[in-house]
Amino acid sequence: MDLVFGWRSATLLTAAAVLVPLAFALLVTLRNRLANRTLALLILVLIGVFTPWLIGFAGFYDRWRWLTFLPVAVPLLVPAVLRFYVTALTTGALPPRWRWMLLPGLVEFAFQAVSFCLPLAAKDRWATAALPIAGPLFAFALVASFGWHVTASLRLLRRYRLSLNNAISDEGRFAARWLATALVTFAFLWSVWGVVLLWDWLWPLGYTGLMWLYLLIAAVALFLAIEGWRHATDPFPTLAMLEAAGQPTKAARDWSTQGRLWADQVAEAGWVRDPDLDITGLARRLGTNSGYLSRALNEGLGVNFSTFVNDLRCRFVVEAMEAGSSQDVLALALDAGFASKASFNRAFRAATGMTPSAYRARVSKAEKVRPSSATRRHTDRPPPTSGA
Task: Supply the pLDDT for residue 246.
Answer: 60
Residue 183 domain-assigned (yes or no):
yes
Q: What is the CATH number of the domain that holds 368?
A: 1.10.10.60
Q: Residue 382 has what DSSP assignment?
A: P
The residue among 207, 240, 273 that closes a domain is 240
Q: Are residues 41 and 156 in the same domain?
A: yes
Task: Tell me how far apart the alpha carbons of residues 157 and 83 are, in angstroms, rounded to a whole number.
Answer: 11
pLDDT confidence of residue 78 = 96
Q: Look at residue 250 in the predicted model and tell me its pLDDT.
A: 57
pLDDT for residue 369: 43
Q: What integer pLDDT is reported at residue 176 of this predicted model?
A: 78
Nearest to 160 by CA among 170, 171, 169: 171
Angle between the N-to-C axes of helices 279-286 and 120-167, in degrees from 0 to 180, rounded to the nearest 10: 20
pLDDT of residue 377: 45
Q: Cα-flanking dihedrals φ and ψ of residue 70, to 5°?
A: -50, 120
Q: Is residue 349 part of a domain?
A: yes
Note whether 342 and 360 are same-domain residues: yes
Q: How many domains does the chain have?
A: 2
Q: Which domain holds residue 60?
A: 7-240
d(CA 240, CA 235): 15
pLDDT of residue 254: 82
DSSP H or E stretch at residue 318: helix 305-322
Q: What is the pLDDT of residues 88-101, one digit of tens each?
A: 999 999 999 999 99
Same domain, 207 and 329: no
Q: What is the CATH number of the domain that holds 185?
A: 1.20.1070
Q: Are 279 and 245 in contact (CB under 8 A)?
A: yes
pLDDT at 384: 40
Residues 220 and 281 in one domain: no
pLDDT tens, position by position, 128-183: 999 889 988 999 999 999 999 999 999 999 999 888 888 777 766 677 788 889 99
* Final residue belonging to a domain, choices 240, 273, 291: 240
The list of the chain residues with pLDDT below 70 reads: 1, 171-173, 245-252, 366-388
Rounded alpha-carbon distances, angstroms, from residue 147 to 89, 93, 136, 165? 20, 22, 17, 27
This prediction has a pTM of 0.77
